[in-house]
Amino acid sequence: MAVKTETETTVETALSAQLREGTREDHARAESTPFVADLMAGRLDVAAYADLAAQQHAVYVALEAAGAALGERGASVALPALARVPAIESDLARLWGPAWRDRVDLLPATRRYAERLREVATTLPGYVAHAYTRYLGDLSGGQIIKRMLARHYGLADDVLAFYTFDALERIKPFKDEYRARIDALELTGDERRAVVAEARGAFDLNRAVFAELGARHAPAP
């Protein structure tokens, strides 16, 4: 029987690899929702994008408050360079004006998502699960979404700040570094399994938001 090398074992058991494999199908289901497909294909309008940003604002307020509450426990993964709340607020102010908060109409699915974050993301495993799904998604598929929004809706960078990470020099090396930071966390086997399970739940929560956005913003006939 072949004996695994230390390198092979490390790669196989790395938490970031477990997250990638454990959420692959959930990720695909979230990306294939009709709302996302319609938005990416230019079948909706700027109002749909603004509503998406408003829902994201509630999610990131909860996530980033939880990250701050972790303090030193989460210092290696709750990074200021990733903070999205100021960018979303800038986008909404440009889309809806200075009184943008008065126009926010949170969906029931968004409220459930934010509540789940407040419940679990103040623990390190809970935070890692949600930070992985949100930030690495923004740095990957989010960059494609940014290009499609600019192409189909004529949106300028000043209303797409959410997808722009000015504090990062290069995205690809940072993603590798962030995965390495996740892998370096000292978590028990049970905690690792909890991270993967919670990340799967995060995709379900996100998909529910997309479903309700789709019901609110149908493409023109």
Name the binding residues for heme b. Answer: 20, 27, 132, 179
Query: Has residue 7 got a pLDDT over 70?
Result: no
Q: For residue 72, tell me if it sits in a domain.
A: yes
Q: For residue 9, tell me if it sits in a domain.
A: no
Convert the pLDDT of each residue in 145-160 to its tens digit.
999 999 999 999 999 9
- Cα–Cα distance measured from residue 193 to residue 15, given in angstroms and rounded to the nearest whole number: 9
Query: CB burial class (10 A; 0-12, 13-18, 19+) of residue 76?
Result: middle
170: three-class secondary structure by DSSP: coil
Total count of domains within the chain: 1
* Domain interval for residue 113: 18-216
Q: For residue 7, tell me if it sits in a domain.
A: no
Name the binding residues. Answer: 20, 27, 132, 179
Residues with Cβ within 8 Å of 155's Cβ and at least 6 positions away in sequence, in order, are: 46, 49, 149
CATH number at residue 68: 1.20.910.10
Closest CA to 205 of 104, 113, 81, 102: 113
Q: For residue 3, tell me if it sits in a domain.
A: no
Q: Where are the beta strands (DSSP E) in 69-137?
A: none
- Cα–Cα distance measured from residue 184 to residue 87, given in angstroms and rounded to the nearest whole number: 29
Mean of pLDDT over the chain: 92
Give backbone dihedrals phi and psi of 178, rounded to 5 degrees, phi first: -65, -40
pLDDT at 12: 53
Q: For residue 166, tell me if it sits in a domain.
A: yes
The whole model's pTM is what?
0.92
Convert the pLDDT of each residue in 191-216 to its tens digit.
999 999 999 999 999 999 999 999 99
Q: For residue 8, tell me if it sits in a domain.
A: no
Q: For residue 212, tell me if it sits in a domain.
A: yes
Q: For residue 99, tell me if it sits in a domain.
A: yes
